[in-house]
Homo-oligomer: A and B are copies of this chain.
Amino acid sequence: MSGRIAARLAELAIELPTPPAPVADYVPYVQTGNLIFISGQVSFIGDDHASAGKVGADLTPEEGKQAAHNSALNTIAHLKNACGGDLDRVTRCVSIRIYVASAPDFTGQPAVGNGASELVGAIFGDLGKHARAAVGVTALPLNCAVEVESVWEIG
């Protein structure tokens, strides 16, 4: 891979993980028109399940933020495949939804979500400025702390 975003990833010393395969009967992404819908991505990188549990109970907010960063990394790894390997084709990050497995009294979802938003901003700059929702949920697949679902526009 070469290009602007590839250079930016190198500059940030970010290596995209091997994106996880769907654990069920669906696909990692679907394109419709120039929109890419990416499946919800868990916060585990490969076999590393450090980000298991609930934020505000098992994990600190800072650990939750790292979990959101991980989910965004997995997302971008799938996005690269959706772009045929060329992330320069991304014209906009449209929308990111951050589900945070939360202790009942944990309300710091925005700061957790920043782990995803800041990564997207660092990589894509102005094209990474997205609409967003962050919500606290009861539990997530495989007991991961964060799941990120997203929509992207490509050219």
Q: Is A33 an interface residue (CB 8 A)?
A: yes
Are B117's CB and A26's CB within 8 A?
Answer: yes
Q: For residue A91, give the distance in angstroms from its CB to the closest CB of chain B.
A: 9
Flag if B140 contacts A136 (CB, 8 Å). yes
Number of A residues near B (Cβ < 8 Å) is: 59
Asked if A104 is at the interface (CB within 8 A of a chain B CB), the reply is yes
Question: Is A123 in the interface zone, CB < 8 Å from B?
Answer: no
Query: In the complex, what distance in Å separates the CA atom of A92 from the CA atom of B32?
Result: 8
Q: What is the 8 Å Cβ interface bit string for chain A, positions 1-41, against chain B (1 contact, 0 not)?
A: 00000000000000000000011111111101111011110
Is A143 within 8 A of B32, CB to CB? Answer: no
Can you give 23 contacting A-B residue pairs, CB < 8 Å? A24-B114, A24-B132, A24-B134, A25-B117, A26-B117, A26-B131, A27-B130, A30-B93, A30-B94, A32-B92, A32-B153, A33-B34, A37-B151, A39-B133, A99-B135, A101-B136, A102-B138, A103-B139, A104-B138, A105-B139, A107-B142, A109-B141, A137-B138
